[in-house]
């Protein structure tokens, strides 16, 4: 056992400056993930529409490809826990539950690829998955990576239940190396930091950026406002530590979007979408796309919010201001000297009128074109001019802010809407003023 451990340690040390050079996820990944909404429902006899089965994933693929999601960037369809048989096959390989996935994973991958989508799968760096299915201990990492590649899987979420700190230190880098060695580009999501408290010195964010495309830092999201708020607080309270780790190909993951489920109001749904965009977070929805409301769809399909999230600079945004009034202001630097601002209210009483100016938020001198992300109304602001935003309880006002310029305020007319020729949509769906 000691010899085996020393060999594994030697192989980890030999990784040295290994970078996850797979060229994937240069912007935050987008798609759909089963876990929060469908959990470990395996009762296909009593609940055939909602159980973890190939039918659930083909249903979601159909919705992504037919209802406009794929065209906006939502391309991953990700299986989570409870997909496999309770036993490996005779060759030691993982295998899907034959009743729930009769066509096998390769058939599911082909179904996705034929529709321009990608398939994600779930594994666990331990003896068992969190749901009690076969895990991927150290001696199974190579065979499981090869199996996923043979199945033409596009992404692996690697959880950490039933493993210890030493095994995680070895296993997460080894799986990165094993996935790279398959020759198939497989995006790699590590849950490692979430099992180590999410912060240095236990978490080495430099190393994570070298071996993983994204990583879970914190607890699983639940279908509640309290859960969303806890995640927001943790990520922004620790922004000085975690934000610098993010960038093209390597992302902090605050977990799934629960917009369209049961726990969030309309205002809270906008808040989650807005702050996940500010955080450059992966946008993995966990909801039922077959029955989603028009209101939830409009939030998740908001082209300006998606454009901000997908900005190629890959800068993770920050909280600038935390007022005693319960108002907080968040900012994200975007390409071409543009930016995004979010005004968020923690209040639960009534809309709050918050007064500030761009110069107070450290914007340089100039005129700015503002687009409200959720109303899509435009206006012009000088940096020194005070303005008031009315922010609903537990809600947000989100702005896309142009680069500073000598802008003629007369370019705008009644209602703050843009004159026709004064703007166009860029490739990210963001309305940009033609200066």
Show Cβ contacts of residue 283 under 8 Å, excluding neighbours closer than 6 positions: 28, 29, 30, 31, 73, 74, 257, 276, 306, 309
Note if 114 is an active site residue: no
Cα 249 to Cα 252: distance, rounded to the nearest angstrom: 10
Measured CA distances, 215 to 192, 202, 229, 322 (Å): 7, 15, 19, 27
Among residues 97, 144, 159, 261, the one annotated as catalytic is 159
Contact 411, 400 (CB under 8 A): no
| C-alpha torsion sign, points 313, 387, 271, 191 | positive
Q: Prior bond to 201 cis, omega within 30? A: yes
In 3-state terms, what secondary structure has residue 44?
coil
Q: Which residues of 231-252 are buried (b: 16+ CB within 10 A; e: fewer)?
A: bbebbbebbeebbebbeebbbb
Which two tokens mark 255? 């977990």
Among residues 59, 62, 219, 220, the one annotated as catalytic is 220
Cα 51 to Cα 238: distance, rounded to the nearest angstrom: 37
Sequence length of the chain is 435
Show Cβ contacts of residue 7 under 8 Å, excluding neighbours closer than 6 positions: none
Cα 275 to Cα 318: distance, rounded to the nearest angstrom: 10
Which two tokens mark 235? 């990520």
Q: In terms of Cα–Cα distance, which of 403, 398, 251 is closest to 328?
A: 398
Cα 86 to Cα 98: distance, rounded to the nearest angstrom: 11
Note if 220 is an active site residue: yes
| C-alpha torsion sign, points 154, 301, 346, 237 | positive
Count other C-beta atoms under 10 Å from residue 11's C-beta.
Answer: 13
Positions marked catalytic: 159, 220
């Amino acid at each position: 056992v000691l010899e085996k451990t020393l060999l594994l340690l030697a192989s980890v040390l030999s990784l040295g400056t290994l970078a996850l050079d797979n060229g994937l996820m240069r912007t935050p990944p987008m798609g759909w993930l089963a876990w929060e909404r469908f959990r470990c429902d395996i009762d296909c006899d009593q609940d055939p529409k909602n159980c973890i089965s190939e039918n659930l994933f083909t249903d979601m693929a159909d919705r992504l490809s037919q209802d406009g999601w794929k065209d906006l960037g939502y391309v991953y369809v990700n299986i989570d826990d409870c997909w496999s048989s309770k036993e490996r096959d005779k060759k030691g390989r993982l295998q899907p539950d034959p009743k729930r996935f009769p066509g096998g994973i390769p058939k599911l991958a082909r179904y996705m690829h034929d529709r321009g989508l990608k398939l994600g799968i779930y594994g666990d760096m331990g003896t068992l998955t969190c749901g009690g299915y076969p895990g991927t201990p150290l001696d199974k990492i190579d065979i499981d990576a090869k199996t996923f590649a043979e199945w033409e899987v596009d992404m692996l979420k690697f959880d950490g239940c039933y493993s210890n700190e030493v095994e995680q230190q070895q296993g997460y880098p080894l799986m990165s190396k094993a996935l790279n060695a398959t020759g198939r580009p497989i995006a790699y999501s590590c849950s490692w930091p979430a099992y180590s408290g999410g912060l240095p010195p236990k978490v080495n964010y430099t190393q994570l950026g070298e071996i993983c495309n994204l990583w879970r830092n914190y607890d699983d999201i639940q279908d509640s406002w309290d859960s969303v708020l806890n995640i927001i607080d943790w990520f922004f309270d620790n922004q000085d530590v975690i934000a610098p780790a993010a960038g093209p190909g390597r992302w902090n993951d605050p977990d799934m979007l629960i917009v369209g489920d049961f726990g969030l109001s309309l205002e809270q749904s906008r808040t989650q979408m807005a702050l996940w965009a500010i955080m450059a977070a992966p946008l993995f929805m966990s909801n039922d796309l077959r029955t989603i409301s028009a209101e939830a769809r409009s939030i998740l399909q908001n082209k300006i919010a998606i454009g901000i999230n997908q900005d190629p600079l890959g800068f993770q945004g920050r909280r600038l201001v935390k007022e005693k009034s319960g108002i907080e202001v968040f900012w994200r630097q975007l390409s071409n000297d543009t930016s995004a601002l979010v005004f968020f209210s923690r209040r639960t009483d009534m809309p709050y009128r918050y007064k500030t100016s761009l110069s107070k938020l450290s914007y340089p001198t100039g005129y700015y074109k503002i687009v409200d992300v959720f109303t899509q109304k435009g206006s012009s602001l000088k940096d020194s001019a005070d303005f008031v935003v009315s922010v609903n309880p537990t809600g947000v006002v989100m702005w896309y802010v142009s680069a500073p310029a000598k802008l003629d305020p007369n370019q705008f007319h009644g209602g703050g809407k843009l004159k026709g020729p004064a703007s166009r949509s860029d490739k990210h769906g963001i309305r940009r003023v033609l200066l």
